[in-house]
Amino acid sequence: MGTHKSARGNRLTGRGVVLREWTEKDLSAMVALFDEPEVAYRTPLASPFDLPAARDYLKMIRQTHATGERIHLAITTDGEKARGEVLLNLTSATIGYAVGIAYRGQGLAVQAVQVLTDHAHRTLAIPRLHAQIEPDNRPSIAVVEAAGYRPTGAPAERVEDKGRSYPLLTWTHEDSRS
């Protein structure tokens, strides 16, 4: 895995993916990726996710990056076309991801989670990362299992979002160098 910084910002590469910062050029791609029922149901993203929602999301991404709270990166295979997103909440050491419906089943989420997890451990010196997943979200559980995360066994945390209440189980990934 390599970390490459350019004038356009951070790029993380490895495992067949290039993770890069979102730009204004990605607004219509964000709409195509995130304005989808499963993303609306499983994530806190706005729904419908239209062009104004994409602009607001990009603004939030830039604000949380500037304050050191989060890293949001577009998942690409070529450094250009966004196929999803992987993010790291730096205050809670929690990783998240979403892949557009047209790109699911290709291993992109696993690859992106592995690359960002490696970066968090090796470069950011975060010894333990977490993922919180609904117990019935088998595809997401498969992603974290394939990326080396393990269930903590802790009781589910109940959250409320978009008018629904649901449990989240916590998965963890330990830095193997610890």
* DSSP code for 91: T
Domain limits for position 43: 2-174
Query: Which of these, 171, 81, 77, 177, lies nearest to 120 by C-alpha position?
Result: 177
**Global pTM?**
0.93
Alpha-carbon span 47 to 41, nearest angstrom: 9
CATH of the domain at 64: 3.40.630.30
- In tens, the pLDDT along 56-65 reads 999 999 999 9
Which structure tokens are listed for 109? 């989420």
Picking from 111, 89, 86, the residue whose alpha carbon sits closest to that of residue 21 is 86
Total of domains in the chain: 1
- Measured in degrees and rounded to the nearest 5, phi and psi for residue 105 equal 80, 5
> Greater confidence, 126 or 5?
126
DSSP characters for 112-170?
HHHHHHHHHHHTS---EEEEEE-TT-HHHHHHHHHTT-EE--PPPEEEEETTEEEEEEE
Label residues 159-175 b or e (16+ Cβ within 10 Å = b).
eeeeeeebeebbbbbee
State the pLDDT confidence band at 159, using cuts at 50, 70 and 90. very high
Residues 130-145: tens digit of each pLDDT: 999 999 999 999 999 9
Q: Residue 131 has which token pair? A: 């993922």
State the pLDDT at residue 10: 77
